[in-house]
Amino acid sequence: MSHPLARRLILGIAFSALGTGLTMPFLYVYLSQARGIPTQTVGFIFAWMGIVSFIAAPFGGTLIDRFGPRPIMLAGLVVEAITTYLIGHVSTVGQAVVVATLVCLGTVGLYPATTAMLTRLVPEDERQRAYGIQFMLMNAGFGIGGIVSSVIIDVTSIASFQLLYLIDALSYVGYIIVVLTLPRSAGSLASVTDATAPDEAPADGGWREVLADRTMLRFVLVSIVVVTFGYAQMEAGFTAYATQTGGVPANRLGWAYAANTGVIVLGQLVALRFIGGRSRSRLLAAAAALWSFSWVVIALSGRVDQTAAVVCAIVGLGLFGVGETLWAPVAPAVVNDLAPEHLRGRYNSFQSMVWTVAGVIGPASAGLLLGNQQAGWWVVAVVGGTALAALMFLELHRHLTPDQDGRADIASGVAAH
Least-confidence region, from 118-127, 186-195, 391-400 = 186-195
Q: Is 1-189's fold the same as 206-410's?
A: yes
d(CA 210, CA 213): 6
CATH number given to 206-410: 1.20.1250.20
In this prediction, residue 145 carries a pLDDT of 82
Convert the pLDDT of each residue in 171-223 to its tens digit: 999 999 999 998 887 767 766 665 444 444 555 678 999 999 999 999 999 99
- Inter-residue long-range contacts of 3-9, CB under 8 Å, 24+ positions, other chains counted: 3/121, 3/122, 3/123, 3/126, 5/121, 5/182, 5/183, 5/186, 6/118, 6/121, 6/122, 6/130, 8/178, 8/181, 8/182, 9/114, 9/117, 9/118, 9/121, 9/178, 9/179, 9/182
pTM (2 decimals)? 0.87
Convert the pLDDT of each residue in 261-294 to its tens digit: 999 999 999 999 999 889 999 999 999 999 999 9
In this prediction, residue 198 carries a pLDDT of 45
CA-wise closest residue to 338 among 277, 410, 411, 281: 281
CA-wise closest residue to 383 among 234, 230, 219, 223: 230
Domain spanning 1-189: CATH superfamily: MFS general substrate transporter like domains (1.20.1250.20)
* Span 240-245, average pLDDT: 90
Kindly list the domain boundaries of the chain, sorted by start residue.
1-189, 206-410
CA-wise closest residue to 62 among 219, 175, 210, 191: 210
Convert the pLDDT of each residue in 314-372 to its tens digit: 999 999 999 999 999 999 999 999 999 999 999 999 999 999 999 889 888 888 898 88
In this prediction, residue 196 carries a pLDDT of 45
> 3-state SS of the chain?
CCCHHHHHHHHHHHHHHHHHHHHHHHHHHHHHHHCCCCHHHHHHHHHHHHHHHHHHHHHHHHHHHHHCHHHHHHHHHHHHHHHHHHHCCCCCHHHHHHHHHHHHHHHCCHHHHHHHHHHHHCCHHHHHHHHHHHHHHHHHHHHHHHHHHHHHCCCCCHHHHHHHHHHHHHHHHHHHHHHHCCCCCCCCHHHHHCCCCHHHCCCCCHHHHHHCCHHHHHHHHHHHHHHHHCHHHCCHHHHHHHHHHCCCCHHHHHHHHHHHHHHHHHHHHHHHHHHCCCCHHHHHHHHHHHHHHHHHHHHHHHCCCHHHHHHHHHHHHHHHHHHHHHHHHHHHHHHHHHCCHHHHHHHHHHHHHHHHHHHHHHHHHHHHHHCCCCHHHHHHHHHHHHHHHHHHHHHHHHHCCCCCCCCHHHHHHHHHC
Least-confidence region, from 123-132, 248-257, 330-339 = 248-257
Tell me if 389 sits within 8 A of 327, measured CB to CB: no
Percent of the chain with pLDDT over 90: 59
